[in-house]
């Protein structure tokens, strides 16, 4: 592989249409027509017909993410997975056999703020699938025997994840940046907390947080919207409104980052150092969201970005260097992300810091800005090509409270960027001091480098949690 | 009953939808032998260009292992008109992005761009195919990049390390013996001359198939191909790979030490290449064993016996006979021998009793859904059209795949299980913390 961008750089790959300055001619990219309605129980439904292939995609979003874990870290994630351990009328095996037989996919999962369900199936099979989806979402049984088996797998999975720095560094990062705020909760939990969970913890969490009034379901694909509306109204109106009001835990204040800190995570057998440098980022509803995408494209969001050009192309220190903003509803983080052989850790950190400093000093010139605008517009439409992608977009609109103008005005918003505005954006959102560092690597070889950066806290990767 | 009914519905849905058909793909070949496959699709204002070069690590020999992959990197490092860095800068300025990948069999370059930038993409590709320049400074920094790529793979994936060892043991003659990324000593030591020879041998228009999909018109593609790519001369076709792996004479076993929590197991059997008549039956066997939680292996080993926390199998298209491989991770406290034997137990059941009609129909249904996923995006279309053209000899086979799977019978699946999944034909690899016990 030439590049790792597709794998590692997932956040700011939301990108652009096509207009500009010198070369790229505009081609309109608009959100296809859809219908939105709310059931009496408060569930929001989006329907969008798409007939390219005889397939239907379903995507649901529920306010039941890891921020509601409390002391029981990992509970949201196991509850979401547990939706599939059997329901009122189907065992786990029956669900799996029925869906596998028709080549249908069903995933249930939790993220930081929300839980989700996605499904894909042939339109001809929808009457076999809908009764199952309905029960998975609204009448899960949380079978204790299935949970016990899953818990064992999850516990080993958590230990195994620590064999790979890439799969755990973001959990360390969120805990390091957000501290005790609920955004610091690791979605996966840790062996110590997961060990204590029971099937009744799952049903308790479900009762409290899986409520139709805060949730949405989007259906995109090959169907007749009128018939689908009737079907869904019939199927999901019975999902009872929750009685308890969820606390808005995420709106709690986050402790500001007032000094430089270094977290060194020791991995005895590491052959390289994996690291993140950064600090606070933005909320998803930040009015500069699109402008920041353009600016970050230049800094660390594409192959010719300053970071990748300096750390990879010019110096051969790494296979890839990038930067990303990870926005949530109430806060976000920013991170420069790269990795390098243990012996080149020092020069790589220094170069990354030099690039950040230079970005603040120089800003973006006209030609680079024109290039970044073309790039984000040109790469935008493939992000919204399939029914699954469109269903996810509709849920995001619901969750973050934006509408199709985000897509439809994207080109215009990108085109509105100027070099002067870019300079302001850099000064405002890219940290210049009080930088935060995480290094996962062999402490004996890199601790001296870490200590030059700031006060070091050391953790052992094999220790529980993050 | 259920089976017949599903079959009937499947047939109907195949003909009643206005989705992409084999005849929608248009083909032409330039005078220099470069073949084009073009699919017009206006669903988004974008397009892509996939260049499939018939060169991979199977074309290497000890001394230059990893050169195909290294070359893939060098193709971005400067040519005559567009010097170092200018390929990416120009493409990104025009709204395009790109990537590339190298396997044992092929090297594939992928460009994704707004359709309005198509001419620039042709110019960029023509420049590097016609006149790549190999700058020693770029070679030096790229060696570091590839060393980091190799190291980060080994740092983050146990399977990469284990499968390197298993392939090295399973293939003693054929070049599938070494890893695609190559040996570090070769990465450190190949010369500029090695790179130049490689370029002139394999990067010829007649060794390449180009696939394009998106909001483009066949006439424009043809005009630009004739303008930019046809002037590049054909070269003598490269020597075919003549090494044939001899039949394996008995089970082979390898052990690998790594600080992991529980053992990782891989068991791999020699199987024919993707043009063989048994390909579709073997692929169905692969799915019956490990596709989905209702599959034989997941259901028995992960769910019921709880010997493994994950289990999978892989059977991928290849130019030369390759491997049908099983991958499992032991649950806590489980001995690797117990998991290994449990995998064989499931294989033996299929060999003795075959699979059920319900299972066969399940996989056929899954294959049809997979086909829909492949054609849901312009990138899926190009990648799969090219893959079928190279690995199966004709892009039309992609559209025939659902019906090829339909033809496979229960007896076929049982026969291939008996023919290929034999002890003497397998190589087993175990990766674990303590290899001294």
Cβ atoms of A445 and A342 closer than 8 Å: yes
The DSSP result for A22-33, as a single string, is SSPPP----PPP
Give the alpha-carbon dihedral of A421, A427, A431, A433, to 10 degrees: 170
The closest of B204, B266, B261 to B235, measured between CA atoms, is: B204
Name B236's Cβ contacts closer than 8 Å, sequence gap at least 6.
none
pLDDT digits (tens, 9 = 90+) for B382-413: 999 999 999 999 999 999 998 899 999 999 99
What band does B437 get if pLDDT is binned at 50, 70 and 90?
A: confident
ipTM of this complex: 0.91
Name A51's Cβ contacts closer than 8 Å, sequence gap at least 6.
A222, B17, B18
User: CA-to-CA distance for A427 and B18, rounded, in angstroms?
Assistant: 52
Across the range B340-349, mean pLDDT stands at: 98
Query: Residues of A numbered 76-95 whose beta carbons fall under 8 angstroms of chain B's beta carbons: which are they?
Result: 93
Looking at residue A28, its pLDDT comes to: 66
Q: A308 in contact with B at a CB cutoff of 8 Å?
A: no
pLDDT digits (tens, 9 = 90+) for B74-122: 999 999 999 999 999 999 999 999 999 999 999 999 999 999 999 999 9
Cβ contact, residue pair A25, B302, below 8 Å:
no
Describe the crossing of helices B67-74 and B136-156 by its angle, rounded to 10 degrees. Answer: 120
Pairing of strands A436-441, A105-110: unpaired
pLDDT digits (tens, 9 = 90+) for B201-217: 999 999 999 999 999 99
For residue B45, the number of C-alpha atoms closer than 13 Å in the C-beta half-sphere is 21
CA B431 vs CA A178, A271, B260, B342: distances in Å: 37, 18, 8, 18
Which residue out of B86, B101, B114, B257 would a mutagenesis test of the A interface target, given it has the greatest number of A Cβ atoms within 10 Å?
B114
Cβ atoms of A60 and A214 closer than 8 Å: no
Sign of CA dihedral A131, A136, A142, A145: positive
The DSSP result for A241-258, as a single string, is PPSSPPP-GGGS------
What band does A438 get if pLDDT is binned at 50, 70 and 90?
A: very high
Class of domain B252-432: alpha beta
Cβ contact, residue pair A18, B13, below 8 Å:
no
Establish, for the pair of chains A and B, how many residue pairs have beta carbons separated by less than 8 Å: 235
pLDDT digits (tens, 9 = 90+) for A319-368: 999 999 999 999 999 999 999 999 999 999 999 999 999 999 999 999 99
* Mean pLDDT taken over chain B: 93
Class of domain B17-229: alpha beta
The closest of A170, A172, A260 to A456, measured between CA atoms, is: A260
- Domains of chain A plus CATH, in order, are 5-28+256-460 (3.30.830.10), 35-250 (3.30.830.10)
- The conformation of residue B299, written as its DSSP 8-state character, comes to I
What band does B1 get if pLDDT is binned at 50, 70 and 90?
A: very low
Looking at residue A3, its pLDDT comes to: 54
Nearest-by-Cβ selection for A2 from B100, B148, B215 = B100
φ, ψ (nearest 5 deg) of residue A84: -95, 5
Q: Which chain B residues are Cβ-neighbours of A124 within 8 angstroms?
A: 9, 13
pLDDT digits (tens, 9 = 90+) for B36-80: 999 999 989 999 999 999 999 999 999 999 999 999 999 999 999
Delimit the domains of chain B by residue range: 17-229, 252-432
Cβ atoms of B123 and B228 closer than 8 Å: yes
Which residue out of A20, A101, A380 would a mutagenesis test of the B interface target, given it has the greatest number of B Cβ atoms within 10 Å?
A101
Across the range A191-208, mean pLDDT stands at: 97
CA-based radius of gyration for chain B: 23
Q: A377 in contact with B at a CB cutoff of 8 Å?
A: yes
Is B321 or A25 the better-scoring residue by pLDDT?
B321
User: CA-to-CA distance for B129 and B107, rounded, in angstroms?
Assistant: 13
Pairing of strands A436-441, A261-266: parallel
**What order of strands is seen across the sheet that includes strand A261-266?**
A321-327, A332-341, A272-280, A436-441, A261-266, A456-460
Return the SS3 of B313.
strand
């Amino acid at each position: 592989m030439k590049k790792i961008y597709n794998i590692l750089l997932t956040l700011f790959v939301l990108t652009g249409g096509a207009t500009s300055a010198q070369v790229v001619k505009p081609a309109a990219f608009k959100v296809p027509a859809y219908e939105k309605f709310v059931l009496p129980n408060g569930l929001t439904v989006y329907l969008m017909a798409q007939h390219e292939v005889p397939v239907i995609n379903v995507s649901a979003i529920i306010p039941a993410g890891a921020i509601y874990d409390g002391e029981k870290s990992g509970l949201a994630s196991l509850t979401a997975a547990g939706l599939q351990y059997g329901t009122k009328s189907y065992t786990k095996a029956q669900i799996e056999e029925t869906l596998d037989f028709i080549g249908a996919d069903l995933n249930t999962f939790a993220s930081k703020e929300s839980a989700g369900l996605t499904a894909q199936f042939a339109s001809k099979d929808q009457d076999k699938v809908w009764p199952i989806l309905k029960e998975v979402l609204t009448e899960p049984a949380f079978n204790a025997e299935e949970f016990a088996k899953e818990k064992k797998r999850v516990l080993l999975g958590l230990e195994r994840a620590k064999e790979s720095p890439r799969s755990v560094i973001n959990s360390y990062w969120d805990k390091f940046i957000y501290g005790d705020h609920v955004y610091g909760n690791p979605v996966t939990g840790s062996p110590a907390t997961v060990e204590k969970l029971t099937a009744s913890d799952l049903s308790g969490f479900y009762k409290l947080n899986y409520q139709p009034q805060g949730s949405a379901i989007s259906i995109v694909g090959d169907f007749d919207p009128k018939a689908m509306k009737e079907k869904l109204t019939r199927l999901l109106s019975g999902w009872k409104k929750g009685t308890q009001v969820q606390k808005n835990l995420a709106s709690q204040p986050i402790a500001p980052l007032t000094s430089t800190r270094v977290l060194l995570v020791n991995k005895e057998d590491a052959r390289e150092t994996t690291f993140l440098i950064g600090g606070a980022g933005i909320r998803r509803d930040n009015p500069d969201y699109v402008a920041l995408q353009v600016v970050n494209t230049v800094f660390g969001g594409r192959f010719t970005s300053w970071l990748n050009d300096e750390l990879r192309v010019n110096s051969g220190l790494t296979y890839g260097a990038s930067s990303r903003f990870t926005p949530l509803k109430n806060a976000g983080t920013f991170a420069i992300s790269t990795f390098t052989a243990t012996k080149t850790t020092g020069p790589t950190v220094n170069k990354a810091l030099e690039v950040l400093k230079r970005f603040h000093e120089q800003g973006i010139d006209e030609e680079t800005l024109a290039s970044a605008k073309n790039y984000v517009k040109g790469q935008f439409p493939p992000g919204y090509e399939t029914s699954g992608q469109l269903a996810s977009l509709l849920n995001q609109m619901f969750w973050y409270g934006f509408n199709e103008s985000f897509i439809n005005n994207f080109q215009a918003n990108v085109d509105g960027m100027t070099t002067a505005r870019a300079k302001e954006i850099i000064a405002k959102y890219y940290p210049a001091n009080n930088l935060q560092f995480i290094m996962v690597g062999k402490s004996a070889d890199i601790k001296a480098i870490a200590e030059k950066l700031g006060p070091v806290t050391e953790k052992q990767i094999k220790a529980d949690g993050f | 009953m259920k089976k017949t009914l599903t079959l009937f519905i499947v047939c109907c849905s195949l003909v009643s939808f206005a989705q992409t058909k084999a005849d929608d793909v248009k083909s032409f070949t330039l005078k220099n032998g470069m073949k084009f496959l073009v699919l017009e699709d206006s669903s988004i204002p974008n397009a892509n260009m996939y260049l499939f070069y018939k060169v991979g690590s199977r074309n290497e020999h000890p001394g230059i292992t990893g050169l195909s992959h290294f070359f893939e990197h060098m193709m971005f490092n400067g040519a005559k008109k567009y010097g170092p860095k200018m390929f990416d800068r120009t493409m990104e300025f025009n709204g395009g992005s790109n990537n590339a990948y190298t396997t044992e069999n092929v090297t594939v370059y992928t460009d994704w761009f707004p359709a309005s930038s198509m001419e620039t993409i042709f110019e960029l590709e023509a420049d590097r195919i016609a006149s790549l320049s190999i700058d020693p400074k770029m070679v030096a920094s790229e060696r570091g990049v590839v060393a980091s790529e190799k190291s980060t793979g080994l740092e983050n994936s146990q399977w990469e390390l284990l499968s390197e060892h298993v392939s090295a043991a399973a293939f003693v003659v054929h070049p599938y013996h070494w890893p695609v990324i190559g040996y570090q000593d070769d990465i450190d030591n190949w010369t500029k001359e090695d790179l130049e020879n490689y370029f002139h041998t394999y990067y010829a228009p007649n060794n390449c198939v180009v696939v394009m999909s998106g909001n483009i018109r066949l006439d424009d593609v043809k005009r630009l191909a004739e303008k930019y790519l046809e002037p590049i001369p054909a070269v003598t076709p490269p020597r075919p790979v003549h090494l044939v792996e001899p039949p394996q004479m008995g089970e082979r076993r390898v052990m690998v030490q790594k600080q992991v929590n529980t053992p990782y197991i891989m068991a791999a059997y020699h199987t024919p290449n993707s043009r063989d008549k048994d390909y579709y039956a073997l692929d169905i066997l692969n799915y019956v064993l490990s596709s989905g939680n209702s599959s034989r292996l997941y259901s028995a080993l992960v769910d019921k016996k709880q010997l493994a926390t994950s289990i999978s199998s892989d059977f991928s298209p290849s130019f030369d006979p390759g491997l049908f491989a099983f991958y499992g991770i032991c649950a806590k406290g489980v001995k690797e021998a117990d998991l290994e034997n449990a995998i064989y137990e499931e294989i033996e059941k299929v060999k003795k009793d075959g699979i059920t009609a319900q299972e066969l129909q399940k996989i056929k249904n899954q294959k049809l859904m997979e086909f829909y996923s492949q054609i849901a995006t312009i990138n899926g279309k190009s990648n799969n059209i090219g893959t079928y053209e190279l690995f199966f000899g004709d892009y039309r086979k992609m559209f025939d795949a659902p019906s090829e799977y339909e033809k496979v019978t229960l007896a076929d699946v049982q026969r291939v299980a008996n023919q290929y999944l034999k002890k003497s034909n397998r190589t087993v690899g175990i990766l674990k913390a303590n290899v001294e016990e």
